[in-house]
A and B are shown apart, each in its own frame.
Chain A
Amino acid sequence: MPDQRQATAAKRPAWSRGRTPGAENPSSTTPPIRRRPVWKAVLLVALILGACVMFFPFLWSLSTSVSSGVGMSATPELIPDNPSFAAYAELFRKTPFARIIANSLGLAVATTVLQIITSSMAAYVFSRMPFPGRSIVFALYLATMMIPMQVLLVPLFVQMRNLGLVDSYLGVLLPSVASAFGVFLLRQAMNSLPRELDEAARIDGAGHLTIFSRIILPLVGPSIATLTVFSFMNSWNSFLWPLIILRSNELKTLPLALAGLQGQYTTRWDVMMAGSIVSILPMLAIYLFAQKYVIQGVANTGIK
């Protein structure tokens, strides 16, 4: 896998230079439909209909969340007669939902900050500080991306138990302090920076610490933005590991709390949808601001 990623990235320099599929590039359109306005209109209508279908589940959960007390067999209505926020109120009254949002947010921010720090430092070495055996060490970093979380479940849990970190934030956080994906992403970005920059700084007497923090880091901003969005998203949405580590209700993260709502409110779909909407919103906000970086990240490496 890592080889494949590297190969694709190397094969398409356009990506590593940070061009996104979203970036306007009139010359790169598949040509067939250009001269047929009728087909173009048909295509547009089809795409818009498809987008409506894609968006419908979101709309539907929003609609359900504001129609209080949706029963089992009522005729579904997209626009409820008496919209109310009762379900949201109930959610926050009956479960520690504010605390749960804070948990998710804290863990996501901590994970993101730590991953950016650890990844950028390692990426700098892999890009700018040659040493014997460096390519082997880098290959080993990439190889860890292949190891699935599932294989680690039992021993990782035992390790956390021995460290006394079961049912603690630290237990959730520690395994994701480093990200091989982040190292790979930032190294690619740093490799694309001209080496004359460091050369010039070195002549002015700058050491590696200065070059790293003052020159290289600011210049890989877009890739750090991509990593930020990915780290945040992965942490915000992660389920399996927090499910194993976190036990107490007040420590739980959003996905855990949402899965828990199912048991608590088997048929109260309005409450469950309210919970879903609340947990989508922050991710949605980030996505709207950073759509470019998210899509670029996927296009670059294809890692979710």
Chain B
Amino acid sequence: MSVGLSSASMSPVAGSLDRTKGSCSAGAARRGRRASRVKYALIIILFLAPSAIPLVYFTVYPMFSALWVSFHKWNLLSDMTWVGVGNYIDLIHDPLTQRAFLNSVLYIVGYFPLVYVGGLGLAIALNSAVPFRNFLRGVYFLPVVTSWIVVALVWRWLLNPSGGVANYLLSLVGVQGPGWWTDPHWALPSIILASAWKDLGFVMVILLAGLQSIPQDLYEAARVDGAGWWARLRHITFPMLTPSTFFVTVISLINGFQVFDQVYAMTGGGPAGASTVVVERVYDLTFRYSQAGTASALSWMLFLLVLLVTVVQMIGQRKWVNYA
């Protein structure tokens, strides 16, 4: 952010001026200046190209290309036929797609309170001076580095209706466990449970970083004024933590709408579409039914929805996020 001034004085133009001052003729100085300016531009191009070209070619271009495809009927092989917004209209009326959007929303509704409350509790607890706290932080964070496929496999096994340890433990206390991911009513909750387990440490670390940026003198002052534990939490920690909370909310919603790996590996969207989500629908439409146009339309719908939700959050933050 402080780029402007200081680096301007180091530009090669200024440098070459210094070097040529006094000793050469004006013409040579100008030639030297131009040569070094060309060299400067060449270095910039050389340094930016390796990242700019792939980003344009593999991210920006496909994105707009997807928009173009979304207005066509296309099976990935034959010629495209223009259908205008037909794909979008079809999708809005498609029950499976409606189900997928509903499930994505339900996923977020179930998942977010779990990771937020859990992550906040852990962050506060592990920000206090308990023994082994770095070790404990490490353990809570461990699932974050594990792949979704492993998480899905392990949780399929834990929540297996026959021989799974979850139902075994429930049977010890006399409860007949549900069918978990094999049961249409429990499939989504199973996915939510596994996801919350995986992401808890992630939320914890973001909130921990937020907690550590709260100036300690606020707490000292509050204590001098006789504020108790709860009062300090409510009047200092919560308000000062709102930027981190906002960040966690935005990220969770973005990721929540894009859930795919764990659904694919845990339930495959089943049983009978009970746990299907939007990205899974995109995948199926493309590679199972070869409806590339519809799939692109759905992915753009998803993108616009996520964008809308994010923008609404950005606007809404003024009401509750406290940037000191």
Q: List residues of A whose CB falls within 8 A of some B CB.
A: 1, 4, 7-8, 10-12, 14-15, 19, 21-22, 24-34, 40, 43-44, 46-48, 50-51, 54-55, 57-58, 60-61, 64, 70-76, 117-119, 121-122, 124-125, 127-131, 137, 141, 144, 146-159, 174-175, 177-180, 183, 191, 195, 198-199, 202, 208-209, 212, 233, 236-237, 239-240, 244, 254-255, 258-259, 261-262, 269, 272-273, 275-276, 279-280, 283-284, 286-287, 291, 294-295, 298-299, 302, 304
Contacts and interface: CB of A to CB of B under 8 A. Distances in A.
B238 to A, nearest CB: 12
A302 B2 contact: no
A43 B127 CA distance: 12
B44 A131 contact: yes
B35 interface: no
A8 B247 contact: yes
A12 B241 CA distance: 12
A38 to B, nearest CB: 13
A47 B126 CA distance: 8
Interface residues of B, number: 122
A68 B66 CA distance: 48
A174 B54 contact: yes
B265 A259 contact: yes
A136 B257 CA distance: 29
B128 A32 contact: yes
B62 A121 contact: no
Nearest to B202: A298
Contacts of B243: 8, 11
A119 B51 contact: yes
Given A4-B314, A175-B54, A177-B54, A272 B157 contact: yes
B323 interface: yes
Interface in B135-156: 136-150, 153-156
B106 interface: no
Nearest to B50: A118
B153 A295 contact: no
A60 B154 contact: yes
B175 interface: no
Given A10-B1, A209-B43, A155 B65 contact: yes
A25 to B, nearest CB: 7
B142 to A, nearest CB: 7
A258 B261 CA distance: 12
B162 to A, nearest CB: 5
Contact of B232 (A19, A32, A295, A298): A32
Nearest to B314: A4
A304 B144 contact: yes
A208 B40 CA distance: 9
Contacts of A209: 43
Contacts of B2: 191
29 contacts: A19-B212, A29-B129, A32-B232, A44-B130, A54-B140, A61-B153, A64-B157, A75-B168, A122-B47, A129-B44, A130-B4, A130-B11, A141-B52, A148-B302, A150-B303, A152-B63, A154-B299, A156-B62, A157-B76, A174-B54, A175-B54, A178-B53, A239-B149, A269-B163, A280-B150, A287-B142, A299-B209, A302-B206, A302-B251
B219 A1 contact: no
B50 A177 contact: yes
Interface stretch (B20-28, B183-191, B278-286): B278-286
Nearest to A44: B130
A130 B3 contact: yes
Q: Lowest 8 CB-CB distances: which A-B pairs, in order?
A: A237-B147, A299-B209, A155-B62, A178-B51, A155-B65, A32-B229, A21-B208, A255-B149
Nearest to A244: B287
Nearest to A187: B3
Given A54-B140, A129-B43, A280-B150, A121 B59 contact: no
A240 B261 contact: yes
Nearest to A283: B145
A48 B244 CA distance: 25
B314 to A, nearest CB: 7
Contacts of A119: 51
Contact of B127 (A29, A46, A149, A299): A29
Contact of B209 (A21, A33, A50, A128): A21
Contacts of A15: 209, 213
Contacts of A150: 258, 260, 278-279, 282, 299, 302-303
B54 A178 contact: yes
Given A57-B197, A236-B147, A254-B149, 11 more contacts: A31-B216, A43-B125, A118-B54, A125-B47, A151-B66, A254-B147, A258-B150, A258-B265, A273-B153, A283-B146, A294-B144
